[in-house]
Structure 1
Amino acid sequence: MTTTSSQRTSDVNGRLWGARARDWAEVQEAQFGGGYDHVLASASVGPGTRLLDAGCGAGLAARRAADLGAIIAGIDAAPLLLDIARERCPDGDFREGDLEELPHADDSFDVVTGFNAFQFAANPVAALSEARRVTRPGGIVAVMTWGRPDGMEAASVVAALRPLLPAPPPGAPGPFALSDPDRLSGFVADAGLVPREVIEGDIFWAYPDEATALRGLNSSGVAIRAAGLVGEAAVSAAHAAALAPFRQPDGSFRIGARYMAVLALA
């Protein structure tokens, strides 16, 4: 995967993704919860599993792993998201830092997960190589990303802010940069990992009303960036238009989405 910047991940993402940490944690983070559970089960996470969640956000995936009995650590660039992760997992070891420079010793973990994280690192292959370094030999590194966008309802919602943002530079990572099984497997192989299997699944984003949907969607780092350029009202209007086709008769919203993950051996 092409690297386009020498900046550290925290420089790029920390401020944006922490700007509305509570909104993210309370509304949007759980929309991919089914994917988290599928990956954790496929990686055989259970009692005593030493697990690092790289790009852990507000700690929902870590909480679900802890509920399975895992010993949890997490790293993220956004301090306000980490505050929530620590609330959710008081016994976890959560640290602020970069995916490209993990503050852990070699072979520290049985499983390292990255949920929609590694492809947004400033240097994705370097970040994944770090994940391999801290995983014990024979352990698992699991990389989850968006599934193939063709025919995916949520893809139209993700694309809603594109007209409000400057065109990305060539080779810049995006939400669907790894949404192909061969490319995803090639990505982990480039970091010295051995792909074991690719899993896929369908989920639904669900919101009880438009206000809640906008609260969740407007909390992403991409939305925060767009709001800084064109204003909050324009971001809300773009999201509302994208949501409209998915409104249910009771005013709620149900939007189909898809995830893909590769489980690789260190």
Structure 2
Amino acid sequence: MTRDLGDATRFLPGELVVGTDARIRFADRVEMIHPWDGRVFFSVEITAPRFGARLDRVTTFADGQALADFLACREDGEWVSLNRDLAVTAGRDELTWRIQTAGCRAEVTTIWPADLADQLREFLIGTGTVDTTSISEGGLWGRRAAQRAALGAKMSLPAWRTAVARTKISEGTTVLDLACGSGEFCALATEAGARATGIDASHEMIELARRTAPEAEFHVWPLGRLPWDDGTFDVVTAFNALFFAADPETAFAEAVRVSRDHVVVCDWHPEHPSDILTVGRAVLGSGGRRRAKMPEPQEELAIDIPQDHPDEDTMLRAFLSTGGYQRLIESEGEESVAEKIRIAAEPFRTADGGYRFANKYLMSIFRKNPRM
């Protein structure tokens, strides 16, 4: 599937290359086709003689459809990716590619083949579509991302602290957090000295995460196949995450594959009712999500996750900010949904007019090397 758009030279299968000496390589990421507008995302590698080593995946996701549309215009100008890691400046016969992340900056100039837009579009979307369940979920959670971060993001703090302690996250530990949301666990991990990476299907959540944990690395990426080699991370975590995947078992298997040692999976406790779920079922009905089928972990822990709100308005805004309520808001309107939440939450109102929801997580800790 290689299409070399520069001079004749050999490259690995599954890539599209622009130029030869200084070149840009696009990795094939057709699993990232966006469900609403057909956008396709890809990772990028820059190589040039003056670089001592290749810069591989320094930008992980650029919008392929938008880039192809920009190149098809054949006009001077600049295109910048959504996560702002990659910029392409079009000149008369050349393209200047700039990558800039927290860890590196690189710039190379290549030729501008006349058919680059068509080749890029064909390369990215020519092999068909895939299941995009978690990308769709990301869009729902992104609608009120800032509100969610302010009112509910730290609810899982007791579980995060337990994970840090149990897996001994410390100076130099490499950590990957799946469905990282607005990045608070990655911030906690970096405070402990770890090198943290987070992925989430919501662009808006990732933008917040980059501000929450500026020392960590974040990428827009759905649950499922992961773009890292086996054993890349010491610890991989998934806090209330795997049930968002189209295939929870594949998401778990990928977490195991890219981990070197620990995999931590945290979910609502199946044997202890959680008040937030009680309200959710009253308003939304029974959900269609399912847990991943996993082997027996080396350790299981029940963790209390209380959530308190000082008043009714704060409580309502916290519930309405979650992705699960967005489709109902679309169909019934926010006022109707808020009234249903208000009624369902009444048993959890406190004497001072606030609300307290008692919840419990089940944390499963897996170790690849349990004897170490």
Interval containing the TM-score (normalised by the shorter chain): 0.7 to 0.9
Query: How far, CA to CA, are the matches of 1:247 and 1:210 in structure 2?
Result: 9
SS in 1 for 2:306: strand
2: CA distance, partners of 1:134 / 1:263: 15
TM-score by length of 2: 0.61
* Structure (1/2) with the larger helix percentage: 1
Aligned to 1:59: 183
Match of 2:324 in 1: 222
Residue in structure 1 matched with residue 294 of structure 2 by the alignment: 188
Distance in 2, matches of 1:151 and 1:52, equals 29
Q: Which residue of 2 aligns with 1:41?
A: 165
For 2:313, the aligned partner's letter is A
Aligned counterpart for 2:238 among listed residues 114, 127, 137: 114
* More displaced stretch, 70-79 vs 125-134: 125-134
- From the two aligned structures, give the one with the greater strand fraction: 2
Unaligned runs of 5+ in 1: 1-5, 179-183
Contact 1:10 1:78 in 2 (8 A): no
Q: Secondary structure at the match of 1:100?
A: coil
| Residue in structure 2 matching 1:8, options 132, 145, 159 | 132
TM-score normalised according to structure 1 size: 0.84
- The alignment's C-alpha RMSD in Å is 1.8
Aligned-pair identity (%): 33
Q: 1:135 corresponds to which letter in structure 2?
A: S
Quick one: higher RCO (CA 8 Å, sep 6+), 1 or 2?
A: 1
CA drift of 1:10 comes to 3.7
Residue 73, structure 1, aligned to residue 175, structure 2: no
Q: Is the 8 A contact 2:177 2:198 kept in 1?
A: yes
Amino acid at match of 1:113: T
Structure 2 residue identity aligned to 1:22: A
Q: Secondary structure at the match of 1:31?
A: helix
Residue of 327, 338, 341 corresponding to 1:236: 338
CA–CA distance in structure 2, aligned partners of residues 62 and 134 of structure 1:
17
Deviations 1:62-89 (A, max 9, x none): 1111222211101000000001110011
Q: Aligned equivalents of 2:271 and 2:205: distance in 1?
A: 27
Further displaced range: 108-117 or 195-204:
195-204
Q: Is the 8 A contact 2:223 2:244 kept in 1?
A: no
1:72, 1:92 within 8 Å by CA — same for their partners in 2? yes
Structure 1 position 149, deviation (Å): 5.5
Distance 1:198 1:133 in 2: 21
Question: Which has more radius of gyration?
Answer: 2
Alignment of 1:1-266 (within 5 A): 7-136=131-260, 139-148=261-270, 150-163=272-285, 172-173=288-289, 177-178=290-291, 187-189=293-295, 195-266=297-368
Equivalent position SS for 2:204: helix
- In the TM superposition, residue 29 of structure 1 has moved relative to its aligned partner by 1.5
Task: Give 1:151 deviation, angstroms.
Answer: 4.4
Moved more, 205-214 or 9-18: 9-18
Unaligned 5+ runs, structure 2: 1-129
Q: Is the 8 A contact 1:148 1:258 kept in 2?
A: no
The answer on whether the counterparts of 1:24 and 1:219 sit within 8 Å (CA) in structure 2 is yes
Deviation at 1:37, TM superposition (A): 1.4
Q: Distance in 2 between matches of 1:225 and 1:36?
A: 29
1:186-211 CA distances to partner (integer Å, 9 max, x unpaired)? x232xxxx621111111211111111
